[in-house]
């Protein structure tokens, strides 16, 4: 018998029938097998008016529905049509429940057919897809979607998506289907009998392949050794490029080659938009052709991927046989044997995220060649599984390890691309990165902070409790309970001590109290009852290590748990011990959440300076080139050299950006907002939101808004979302809108009228493509909190204790971040932009001019909101 699939899509006025939401359009496409046999569409007249934002989304107005039938009129026909087959929808729980509640309202019984959710099955079958929103998953699969948010069109593409899902399941290896079988009954989609039939059909085409062969290496291509002069080579190769190198790029490339060739270090500041990546790739490619391996490190994984893309594109344009490999830390790669052990002992079928994650991984392993988790779009809670099945454990065997596969690729590579965190961690611990002849450190202004974070230690109650939960199958209940109670008592005592000792001005902008362990309070916090509780907790953690070492358990999965547990507990004990030891080289502090539980205290330990560490790890061996758009502070490289431990005589060069900023950028500040430091958060954000609403209403373009805190971002986001003026503007925010940084960036690039609110990672490394006119808005000058532990520690480390900390430390760091934000503006000669600075201190404080002096020569205007908006409108149009 041919299966019947009823593909359904509804357009509604809201999410819940119980709250008055109604159907305004329904589309149905019916498949028998893989053929469309029928379709149905109808608008539906609601009892209430259609909200304006729904009309804007769907294009359906109240006037369109005047002559449409009511749902009550359509219900008998629909009820009959929707029986006797699989009910298929994209996010089926919504459509199925909404229809059944609507049927109930008109006195009809519920539908009883089996359901299929194409969201869920698309996640399972296409685990690499960047998004499972209907418009984005069909775009990923190359399915044309003519009328998004219209019911019949959405039903049609959902049907095509279902066919793609079927085809993917039907071509999976038989062994893969067998591994999926235990998980199918726990899915929302009721396809158990359908899947069993497929498995029976495939049994006759059995293949022994389980997972994709992980031993796929990039083969090193034969290269002809180039002995020509680099300058001559560059001049000859430039003629083959589809663009002309800028003078500054050419000069930077030659300077880098010269220093690497002479085995000397170089610090190179390249103005924003210069194209520094291409400048350092060209000499690296040339060196690769001559048999020299270059290690390139950048600040984030996203930038790693951008560098790899640029390197591959450049070698393709130059028609050169060069091998570039992206290498991440072991925790990014799956270990096949550990994953197989996890599957063999899987029992948590009631945990939906675990079921879906395991199913996605099974399918993914039939297609991945890297084993890199960043290829995946895992459920949030599914990430918890990853640390058990990745390659990070030092006891992990090389067999089945995608990380060791990547290392072998690097042996054959000319360029190895890593990130700062992995570079430092590997140098400190494993030293697994293959030997290389030179290092180029991009985004070098982040190197000091990244190194400090790699050397930092944190510990809190939640860390210990999560570990104890993982160890429940192994440890006696009494030992687990003793450890939990001891941790609770210890962290409660720490919390109370901080609550007693801290002052109100020590609160962070998220309401957390920070207490630095200086001479005045270290004795109070690390002696007496707290120290006794520390010894008790440390002793119990030692007992857990002894127990796990002494009990050789038979189950392989428990052995994995033991290895993980011993590593974590050992780190916990080391952190506790270090916290109660005196060390001038480290800053120690406790952070408590004033709105959290009474044991919500976190111990922090960080080195004050990392210059000696960096010097010994990086600068005593091969030549190193450090580059960024913001390495100077007040036009001086010396602070950067001191931070990183580079010798004072290190060559430092500035390459200016090739843009006419005077003709491309305006810096504008409306003069009506109050001083942010003297105004409560709600009042200030209300003023910010009102101005942004006026500005967007007049400009009608895109806007990137940068914040220094999530609290301020969330408040502005909520206020903008409530604005009727911005109903037609898409508003997305980091941490409040679902999706990764890259997804938000893509939305920003592909949507016409959009506001993106970002913090931290959006201040740098965020280049908006295909947008010649842009507005970047800085809500607050990016000062580090003066009372932050690191700022306090750096102040104490200054040679002259009478030095003005603000001008010596806080201001230079803030100006550097300010310059990074400005760098989001102009990336090409065609760009034109407005840089809005809402913080009045840039004009009302003496130090404000220092920020403006840190920018290229541009016109800055401080005027009324109306004048600012009018000036921006004229400038951008």
Tell me how crowded residue 486 is: count the other CB atoms within 10 A of its CB. 19
Rounded average pLDDT over 766-794: 76
Beta strand 665-670 with 832-837 is parallel
pLDDT per position as a tens digit, 356-365: 999 999 999 9
Q: Which residues pair with 115 in a beta bridge?
A: 87
Backbone angles phi, psi at 505, to 5 degrees: -75, 0
The arrangement of strands across the sheet holding 859-863 comes to 730-733, 754-759, 703-707, 773-778, 832-837, 665-670, 859-863
Helices H, strands E: what count in the chain? 35, 23
Residue 144 has pLDDT above 60, yes or no: yes
Which region, left, alpha or beta, applies to residue 209 given φ > 0 means left and ψ of -120 to 50 means alpha? Answer: beta
Rounded average pLDDT over 470-482: 86
Residue 645 has pLDDT above 80, yes or no: yes
Whether 578 contacts 520, CB under 8 Å: no
Dist CA 91 CA 133 (whole Å)? 9
Whether 127 contacts 115, CB under 8 Å: no
| pLDDT band at residue 216 under the 50/70/90 scheme | very low
Dist CA 680 CA 379 (whole Å)? 38
Alpha helices in 581-705 (DSSP H): 611-618, 638-644, 661-664, 681-699
Dist CA 849 CA 842 (whole Å)? 7
Q: Which residues pair with 859 in a beta bridge?
A: 666
Predicted pLDDT at 217: 44
pLDDT per position as a tens digit, 720-739: 999 989 988 999 998 888 77
Backbone angles phi, psi at 730, to 5 degrees: -80, 130
Q: Which two tokens stand for residue 313?
A: 């594109």
Dist CA 181 CA 171 (whole Å)? 15
Dist CA 501 CA 521 (whole Å)? 8
pLDDT per position as a tens digit, 816-845: 889 888 887 787 788 889 999 999 999 999
Smallest CA-to-CA distance from 721 within 730, 712, 713 is with 730
Whether 508 contacts 514, CB under 8 Å: yes
Rounded average pLDDT over 40-46: 93
Predicted pLDDT at 380: 77
Cα→Cα distances 765→104, 324, 365, 747, Å: 53, 21, 31, 17
Predicted pLDDT at 771: 57
DSSP string, 219-270: PPPP-PPP-S-HHHHHHHHHTTSSSPPPHHHHHHHHHHHHHHHTT--EEEEE
Non-local (6+) Cβ contacts of 232 within 8 A are none
Predicted pLDDT at 786: 66
Lowest mean pLDDT among 94-103, 127-136, 369-378, 395-404: 395-404
Predicted pLDDT at 737: 81
With tokens 């065997």, the residue in question is 397
Predicted pLDDT at 50: 87
Cα→Cα distances 876→625, 763, 872, Å: 38, 22, 6
Whether 461 contacts 600, CB under 8 Å: yes
Smallest CA-to-CA distance from 580 within 512, 520, 533 is with 533
Burial string for 840-869 (b: 16+ CB within 10 Å, else e) reads: bbbeeeeebebbeebbbebebebeebeebb
Smallest CA-to-CA distance from 242 within 308, 313, 322 is with 313
Residue 615 has pLDDT above 50, yes or no: yes
Non-local (6+) Cβ contacts of 589 within 8 A are 514, 515, 516, 517, 604, 789
Dist CA 492 CA 521 (whole Å)? 17
Residue 126 has pLDDT above 90, yes or no: yes
Angle at 854 between CA 851 and CA 860, to 5 degrees: 65
Lowest mean pLDDT among 515-524, 564-573, 631-640, 851-860: 515-524
| pLDDT band at residue 219 under the 50/70/90 scheme | very low
Smallest CA-to-CA distance from 311 within 320, 254, 333, 248 is with 320
Dist CA 325 CA 311 (whole Å)? 10
Predicted pLDDT at 809: 78
With tokens 């748990």, the residue in question is 561
Non-local (6+) Cβ contacts of 524 within 8 A are 497, 501
Dist CA 486 CA 556 (whole Å)? 30
Whether 603 contacts 487, CB under 8 Å: no
CA 310, 312, 313, 319 torsion-angle sign: positive
Non-local (6+) Cβ contacts of 342 within 8 A are 358, 385, 388, 389, 557, 560
DSSP tag of 806? I
DSSP tag of 675? P
Dist CA 603 CA 600 (whole Å)? 10
Q: Which residues pair with 603 in a beta bridge?
A: 459, 590
Smallest CA-to-CA distance from 559 within 345, 333, 334 is with 345
Residue 800 has pLDDT above 80, yes or no: no
Rounded average pLDDT over 38-43: 93
CA 549, 555, 559, 561 torsion-angle sign: negative
DSSP tag of 216? -
Angle at 312 between CA 310 and CA 313, to 5 degrees: 65
Q: Please measure the distance between the N-terminal and C-terminal CA atoms of the chain and give it in whole angstroms.
A: 63
Dist CA 552 CA 559 (whole Å)? 8
Lowest mean pLDDT among 184-188, 438-442, 637-641: 637-641
With tokens 């990014």, the residue in question is 332
Predicted pLDDT at 553: 54
Q: Is 647 exposed, middle or buried (0-12, 13-18, 19+ CB in 10 A)?
A: exposed
Dist CA 152 CA 9 (whole Å)? 7
Percent pLDDT > 70 in the chain is: 92
Report the interhelical angle of 276-289 vs 247-261 (nearest 10°).
40
Dist CA 358 CA 726 (whole Å)? 42
Predicted pLDDT at 336: 94
Predicted pLDDT at 768: 59
pLDDT per position as a tens digit, 757-778: 998 777 776 665 555 568 999 9
Percent pLDDT > 90 in the chain is: 55
Cα→Cα distances 1→33, 85, 197, 553, 824, Å: 9, 12, 12, 51, 60
Dist CA 664 CA 876 (whole Å)? 10
Which region, left, alpha or beta, applies to residue 263 given φ > 0 means left and ψ of -120 to 50 means alpha? Answer: left
Q: Which two tokens stand for residue 195?
A: 């899947």
Backbone angles phi, psi at 440, to 5 degrees: -115, 120
DSSP string, 301-334: HHHHHHHHHHHHHHHHHHT----EEE---GGGBB
Dist CA 833 CA 515 (whole Å)? 43
Dist CA 46 CA 74 (whole Å)? 12
| pLDDT band at residue 564 under the 50/70/90 scheme | confident
Beta strand 457-460 with 512-516 is unpaired
Tell me how crowded residue 267 is: count the other CB atoms within 10 A of its CB. 24
If one compares 430 and 401, the residue with the highest pLDDT of the two is 401
Whether 759 contacts 765, CB under 8 Å: no
Helix (H, G, I), strand (E, B) or coil at 294: strand
Q: Which residues pair with 832 in a beta bridge?
A: 773
Whether 610 contacts 451, CB under 8 Å: yes
């Amino acid at each position: 018998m041919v299966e019947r699939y009823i593909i359904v899509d509804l357009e509604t006025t809201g999410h819940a029938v119980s709250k008055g939401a109604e159907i305004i359009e329904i589309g149905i496409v019916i498949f028998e097998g893989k053929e469309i046999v029928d379709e149905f569409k109808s608008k539906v007249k609601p009892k209430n008016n259609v909200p304006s934002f729904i009309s804007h989304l769907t294009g359906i107005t109240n006037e369109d529905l005047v002559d449409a039938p009511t749902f009550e009129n359509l219900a008998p026909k629909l009820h009959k049509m929707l029986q006797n087959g699989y009910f298929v929808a994209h996010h089926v729980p919504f459509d199925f429940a909404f229809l059944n509640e609507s049927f109930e309202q008109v006195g009809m019984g519920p539908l009883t057919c089996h359901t299929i959710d194409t969201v869920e099955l698309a996640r399972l079958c296409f685990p690499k897809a960047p998004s499972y929103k209907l418009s984005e998953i069909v775009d990923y699969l190359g399915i044309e979607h003519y009328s998004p948010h219209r019911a019949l069109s959405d039903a049609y593409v959902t049907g095509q998506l279902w066919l793609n899902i079927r085809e993917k399941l039907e071509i999976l290896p038989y062994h893969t289907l067998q591994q999926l079988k235990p998980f199918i009954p726990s899915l929302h989609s009721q396809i158990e009998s359908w899947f069993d039939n497929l498995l029976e059909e495939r049994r006759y085409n059995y293949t022994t392949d389980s997972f994709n062969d992980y031993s796929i290496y990039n083969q090193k291509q034969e290269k002809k050794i180039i002995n020509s002069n680099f300058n001559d080579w560059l001049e000859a190769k430039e003629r083959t490029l589809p663009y002309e190198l800028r003078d500054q790029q050419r000069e930077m490339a030659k300077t880098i080659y010269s220093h690497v060739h002479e085995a000397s270090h170089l610090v190179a500041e390249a103005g924003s938009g210069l194209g520094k990546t291409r400048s350092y790739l060209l000499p690296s490619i040339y060196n690769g052709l001559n048999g020299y391996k270059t290690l390139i490190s950048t600040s984030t994984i996203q930038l790693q991927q951008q560098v790899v893309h640029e390197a591959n594109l450049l070698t393709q344009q130059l028609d050169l046989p060069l091998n570039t490999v992206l290498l991440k830390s072991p925790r990014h790669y799956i270990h096949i044997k550990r994953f197989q052990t996890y599957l063999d002992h899987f029992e948590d079928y009631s945990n939906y995220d675990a079921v879906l994650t395991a199913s996605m991984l099974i399918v993914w392993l039939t297609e991945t060649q890297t084993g890199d988790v960043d290829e995946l779009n895992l459920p949030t809670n599914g990430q918890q599984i990853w640390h058990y099945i990745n390659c990070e454990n030092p006891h992990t065997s090389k067999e089945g390890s995608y990380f060791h596969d990547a290392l072998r690729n690097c042996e054959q590579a000319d360029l190895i691309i890593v990130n700062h965190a992995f570079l430092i961690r590997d140098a400190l611990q494993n030293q697994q990165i293959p030997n290389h002849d030179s290092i180029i450190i991009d985004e070098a202004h982040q190197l000091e902070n990244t190194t400090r974070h790699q050397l930092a230690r944190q510990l809190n109650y939640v860390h210990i409790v999560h570990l104890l939960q993982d160890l429940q199958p192994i440890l006696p209940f009494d030992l687990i309970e003793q450890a939990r109670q001891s941790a609770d008592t210890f962290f409660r005592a720490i919390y109370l001590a901080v609550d007693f000792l801290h002052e109100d001005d020590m609160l962070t902008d998220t309401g957390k109290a920070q207490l630095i362990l200086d001479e005045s309070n270290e004795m109070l916090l690390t002696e007496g009852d707290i120290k006794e509780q520390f010894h008790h907790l440390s002793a119990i953690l030692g007992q857990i290590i002894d127990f796990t070492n002494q009990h050789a358990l038979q189950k392989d999965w428990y052995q994995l748990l033991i290895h993980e547990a011993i590593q974590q507990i050992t780190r916990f004990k080391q952190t506790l011990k270090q916290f109660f030891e005196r060390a001038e080289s480290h800053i120690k502090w406790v952070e408590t959440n004033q709105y959290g539980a009474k044991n919500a205290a976190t111990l922090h330990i960080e080195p004050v300076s990392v210059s000696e560490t960096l010097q010994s790890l990086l600068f005593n061996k091969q030549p190193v080139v450090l580059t960024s758009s913001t390495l100077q502070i007040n036009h001086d490289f010396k602070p950067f050299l001191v931070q990183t431990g580079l010798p004072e005589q290190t060559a430092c060069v500035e390459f200016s950006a090739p843009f006419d900023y005077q003709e491309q950028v305006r810096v504008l500040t409306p003069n009506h907002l109050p001083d942010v430091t003297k105004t409560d958060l709600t009042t200030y954000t209300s003023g910010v939101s009102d101005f942004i609403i006026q500005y967007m209403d007049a400009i009608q373009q895109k806007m990137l808004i940068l914040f220094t805190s999530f609290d301020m971002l969330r408040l502005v986001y909520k206020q903008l979302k409530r604005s009727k003026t911005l109903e037609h503007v898409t508003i997305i925010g980091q941490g409040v809108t679902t999706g990764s940084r890259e997804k938000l960036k893509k939305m920003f690039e592909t949507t016409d009228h959009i506001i993106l609110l970002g913090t931290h990672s959006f201040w740098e490394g965020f280049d908006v493509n295909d947008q010649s006119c842009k507005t970047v808005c800085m809500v607050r000058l990016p000062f580090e909190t003066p009372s932050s532990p690191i700022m306090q520690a750096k102040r104490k480390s200054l040679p002259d204790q009478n030095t003005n900390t603000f001008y010596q430390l806080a201001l230079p760091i803030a100006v550097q971040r300010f310059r990074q934000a400005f760098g989001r503006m102009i990336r090409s000669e065609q760009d034109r932009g407005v840089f809005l600075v809402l913080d009045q201190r840039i004009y009302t404080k003496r130090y404000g001019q220092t920020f403006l002096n840190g920018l290229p020569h541009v016109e800055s205007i401080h005027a009324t909101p109306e004048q600012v908006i009018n000036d921006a409108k004229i400038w951008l149009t």
